[in-house]
Amino acid sequence: MSVRKAHNSGRNHLRNVVEYYQEIGHEKAQSVIDSITNSYAAEGQASSNPMLQQPGAPGAYPPPPFGFPGKFQSRFFLLSFQRASL
């Protein structure tokens, strides 16, 4: 369980939240709850899931799978080979 979840589900935190909303009154409490809900809804709509985005431009070849030589791996191989021969 994450620290934030543990904190938010703790007895003292829950008691403090209940007391806070009881002190500010029903109308103000509903206003605060609505603003929090709206900010979470706007946050979810504004950001998209980066895992669903396709890499590269439309029609471009996909990157090679892991384990196949690419630009970075071939450069790394050449550098390590040059160092070994020195």
Q: How far apart are CA 10 and CA 23, in angstroms?
A: 20
In a domain, 2, yes or no: yes
25 found inside a domain: yes
Is residue 67 included in any domain, yes or no? no
Tally of structural domains, the chain: 1
Say how far apart CA 28 and CA 37 lie, in whole Å. Answer: 14
Q: Please state, in angstroms and as integers, the Cα–Cα distance from residue 51 to each residue in 10, 23, 44, 48, 57, following that order.
A: 33, 43, 15, 9, 16
Token pair of 58, please? Answer: 């439309």
Provide the domain limits for residue 12: 1-45
- pLDDT digit string (tens) for the chain, length 86 residues: 788 888 888 999 999 988 988 888 888 889 988 998 998 888 776 555 555 555 555 666 666 666 655 555 555 555 554 555 45
- Does some domain include residue 6? yes
- Whether the model clears a pTM of 0.75, i.e. scores above it, the answer is no
> Is residue 77 situated within a structural domain?
no
Whether 4 is covered by a domain: the verdict is yes
70 falls within a domain? no
